[in-house]
Amino acid sequence: MDCRDKPGNDSGGRFRNPHPNPPQGGGGRGKSLHKLLPEPIGRILDKLLKGEGEKARTGRGAMAAFVIRIASAGIAFLSQIVLARWLGAFEFGLFSYAWIWVTVLGTLCTLGFAVSVVRCLPEYSSRGEVARMRGFLAFGRAISFGAGTLILIAGAGFLYFGSELIGRDYALPLAVALICLPAFAVTDFQDGAGRSQGWMDLALVPPYVLRPILLLTFILFAGWIGDRRDATTAMLCAAIATWLVAGLQYLLQRRRFRPILGQGPREMHSRSWLWLSLSLLLLEALSLLVLNLDLILLNFFVPPDQLGIYFAATRTISLVAFIHFAVTAVAMPRFSSLFAAGRQAEIGPLLHDMQKWCVVPSLGGAAVLLLLGKPLLWLFGPGFTAAYPVMFILAIGYVIRAFGGPAQSLLMATGHHNRATGILMATVALSGALNLGLIPWLGITGAAIATACALSFEAIASFLVARRLFPPRGQAEAGKSRGSTAS
């Protein structure tokens, strides 16, 4: 199943390529870079900023996504510190657990459309199928909001009748967290729509910069007016921030799409879109479990204060993972476009380039975070420094993951869902077994070991499969040469 079933006609609206070439030249920008930076670095940045080819455009996109994610990481980190200081370890653990479920359920509520939009919209835009783009955007947004609303209702019923199953302390924060789901799902879909067009500002700034800023603002306001310092109040602030961000992102994205889509009818292929997206949903669910299974299972074995300490450690060291996310955000639509255009020979070299963009910054970032680990954890509160060994263990997993580059996204963008699904299912099984075996014995340290092993396994397996399917240009040409010689 791909995005090209039943090609349709487009009527109304003028098509414009959403990935225009950058302006010619660069003025004095390159010269100033050479003056301010060491010559090798300045030369690289000069080529990146002034280059006209696909590699330069991809590099600029990766740089933009990286800068946004670094800024968002700092803001999110600050908001987590304020929350931990404001709430204390116990209430911070309750809030963290509730927000984990917002992230997991909110992402799943898109039913895979947040991933399929990154794959389908570049195909439609490359063929000028504007009406189909209109239809896909409207249908994906409606599905995300509707599924989020249904899960909200179902979750409220579960909490009303089964609150004893999860514990009284968790019930009220989780009930407020459910309010976030429709808006979170729509934001996640719109994130994918923005990335599909290369609009890293509209894709990443609202959820990863504006939302934590609003959360921090509302938390400070709640403290100023003397409201209760508990997880329920913090989650209410998060719900308000989530809804405001979803609405603002919708208005801004609609405005930017207007000159591309114009006015006209929508071409709908609901069944094929839903089938494709649901096939990707399994991958999304498995990916979420790989990243969050440790936090979910810890709730059954450790008290909320230990969960809060572990959450602080994971959020601190996961700043390294933002590099991988930024590179993937740029690479996935490029993989999709190359595959749709039949330029498979260029995919392997692109993966190789993206791998280099992941590895070096991740190594440097992990080293810096580990050097500053204990002071950073102390910012959350004196008791949080006990989680430093957790940071060290998780850093190993994130660095190994960086060596794999965006290999999993490559498999998803090029139709190799079965291979990606098999790898992720094996990873989840490994993570579950290790977490259940190590957490009762080692507590939060066991959860860190299990997660690092799972991340490493997934990255290595995905990279080996992707490299075999799309070898770098040198290997591909050598293989062809050997084949012609043998014949």
pLDDT of residue 142: 96
Mean pLDDT confidence for 204-216 = 90
pLDDT of residue 4: 55
Name the one residue in this structure whose structure tokens are 């919708």. 250
Measured distance CA(415)–CA(440) in Å, rounded: 40
Measured distance CA(448)–CA(316) in Å, rounded: 13
Task: List the structure tokens of 37.
Answer: 């930076």
Q: Closest Cα to residue 89, out of 319, 382, 293?
A: 382
Contacts of 436 by beta carbon, 8 Å cutoff, 6+ apart: 297
- 50 — pLDDT class (breaks 50, 70, 90): low
Measured distance CA(280)–CA(304) in Å, rounded: 33
- 22 — pLDDT class (breaks 50, 70, 90): very low
Name the one residue in this structure whose structure tokens are 């209410």. 236
The pTM (predicted TM-score) of the whole model is: 0.74
pLDDT of residue 60: 61
Asked if pLDDT for residue 480 goes beyond 50, the answer is no
| pLDDT tens for each residue of 345-398 | 888 888 888 888 888 888 888 999 999 989 999 989 888 988 899 999 999 999
Lowest mean pLDDT among 17-31, 154-168, 294-308: 17-31
Measured distance CA(481)–CA(192) in Å, rounded: 40
Dihedral (Cα; 50, 53, 56, 60), 10-degree rounding: 90
Mean pLDDT confidence for 148-159 = 94
Highest mean pLDDT among 147-151, 206-210, 272-276: 147-151
Q: Closest Cα to residue 179, out of 251, 112, 101, 110?
A: 101
Asked if pLDDT for residue 34 goes beyond 60, the answer is no
Contacts of 136 by beta carbon, 8 Å cutoff, 6+ apart: 117, 120, 121, 124, 273
Asked if pLDDT for residue 55 goes beyond 80, the answer is no
Residue 478: count of CB within 10 angstroms of its CB: 12
Mean pLDDT confidence for 193-198 = 86
pLDDT of residue 1: 54
Task: List the structure tokens of 457.
Answer: 């396994």
Please state the three-class secondary structure of the chain as a single string: CCCCCCCCCCCCCCCCCCCCCCCCCCCCHHHHHHHHCCHHHHHHHHHHHHCCCHHHHHHHHHHHHHHHHHHHHHHHHHHHHHHHHHHHHHHHHHHHHHHHHHHHHHHHCCCCHHHHHHHHHHHHHHCCCHHHHHHHHHHHHHHHHHHHHHHHHHHHHHHHHHHHHHCHHHHHHHHHHHCCHHHHHHHHHHHHHHHHCCCHHHHHHHHHHHHHHHHHHHHHHHHHCCCCCCHHHHHHHHHHHHHHHHHHHHHHHHHHHHHHHCCCCCCCCHHHHHHHHHHHHHHHHHHHHHHHHHHHHHCCCCCHHHHHHHHHHHHHHHHHHHHHHHHHHHHHHHHHHHHHCCCHHHHHHHHHHHHHHHHHHHHHHHHHHHHCHHHHHHHHCHHHHHHHHHHHHHHHHHHHHHHHCCHHHHHHHCCCHHHHHHHHHHHHHHHHHHHHHHHHHHCHHHHHHHHHHHHHHHHHHHHHHHHHHCCCHHHHHHHHHHHHHHC
pLDDT of residue 58: 56
Highest mean pLDDT among 79-93, 330-344, 451-465: 451-465
Asked if pLDDT for residue 95 goes beyond 70, the answer is yes
Task: List the structure tokens of 126.
Answer: 């490359």
Measured distance CA(13)–CA(269) in Å, rounded: 19
Q: Closest Cα to residue 450, out of 439, 440, 462?
A: 439
